[in-house]
Structure 1
Amino acid sequence: MLDSASASTVVLLAAASTLLVAAMLYPTSLLRWLQRKRYQYEVTFSLYMLTSTEKFILNSILFLLLSLFIIAASLYLPEHIAFMANRMFYYFSGDSSHFTTQAAPKADFATAAVTQMLSSGDALRGPAAGHEL
């Protein structure tokens, strides 16, 4: 089964290949649509008043921010949605046996280390010493 990062990568590659196929089959209509969208973008954000250098700088910044947002959403959003769905299920059902998260391997290692420390009795002593988790 694919993890969330692989699944989002497959979806993005499928969208890009679909756009490429559409460009090869209908080049003039796609070009006309892209020109219309560029015109709407420039008119909406008043870019037609800027010089070429100013447009380039603004578009570069917008492209960078949009790229970072898409990368972050494709990497972290599916895992976060699964985590929130599991948390909602736990809140509604109250059964902790069905509450599972898809944590990273580092988190699994940390959880195993803490469990081993607690079971061996070498846990840090503090105000909660003597209380069982």
Structure 2
Amino acid sequence: MLSAPYITLPTVIAGAAVIFLFALALYPSSLLQWFKRKRYQYEVTFSLYMLSPTEKFIFNSILFLFLSMVSIAVALYLPRHVKIIAHRAYYYVSGDLLKNGTTSGVLDTTGAGFLTPTAVAEVAGSA
């Protein structure tokens, strides 16, 4: 007995790639014109059209490295920062610490940069 074939993610991606390449083969001029227009807008916006190829390479390399570092920093540190801000907002609105004491740094009495269970108890007045 034959089982029904499963459609997997690689199959879907390969099919989408084939469809994209087929569309690119049918309409190459419009897509290429769009890319050329975007490249022209980029060069005019940053005044790269008046630079030599070496200067363009240096500028594009520095811009790429800067944007890469910013995107990595956002991916690594933004979720934690948003979590800390949300905890602080909760503390300011409710006047109460969260159950696990994660309003780190809001009422830091230890100087260690985070609240310990004893510091939470001291702040709450139950020590």
> What is the deviation of 1:94?
0.7
1:59, distance to aligned residue in structure 2 (A): 0.4
TM superposition score normalised by structure 2: 0.57
Partner of residue 85, structure 1: 86
Q: Report the alpha carbon displacement of residue 101 of structure 1 after superposing the two structures with TM.
A: 5.7
Q: What is the aligned-residue RMSD (CA, Å)?
A: 3.5
Q: 2-side partners of 1:93 and 1:33: how far apart? A: 53
Residue equivalent to 1:70: 71
Structure 1 match to 2:102:
100
Distance 2:76 2:90 in 1: 23
C-alpha deviations, 1:38-93, integer Å up to 9, x for none? 11010111100000000000000000000000000011011101110111111110
Q: Which has the higher contact order (CA 8 A, sep 6+)?
A: 1
> Where in structure 1 do 4 or more consecutive aligned residues deviate above 6 Å?
none
1:1-133 equivalent positions in 2, closer than 5 A: 24=21, 26-27=23-24, 28=28, 29-98=30-99, 100=102
Question: For residue 122 of structure 2, what is the aligned residue in structure 1?
Answer: none
User: Within 2, Cα distance between the matches of 1:23 and 1:45?
Assistant: 31
Aligned to 2:8: none
SS in 1 for 2:102: coil
- Asked which structure has the greater CA Rg, the reply is 2
Q: Give 1:26 deviation, angstroms.
A: 4.5
Residue 97 of structure 1 aligns to a residue in which SS?
A: coil
**Structure 2: gaps spanning 5 or more residues:** 1-12, 105-112, 120-125
- Does the 8 Å CA contact 1:47/1:55 hold for their aligned counterparts? yes
Aligned partner letter, 1:64:
L
Greater Cα offset, 60-69 or 88-97? 88-97
TM-score, scaled relative to structure 1: 0.55
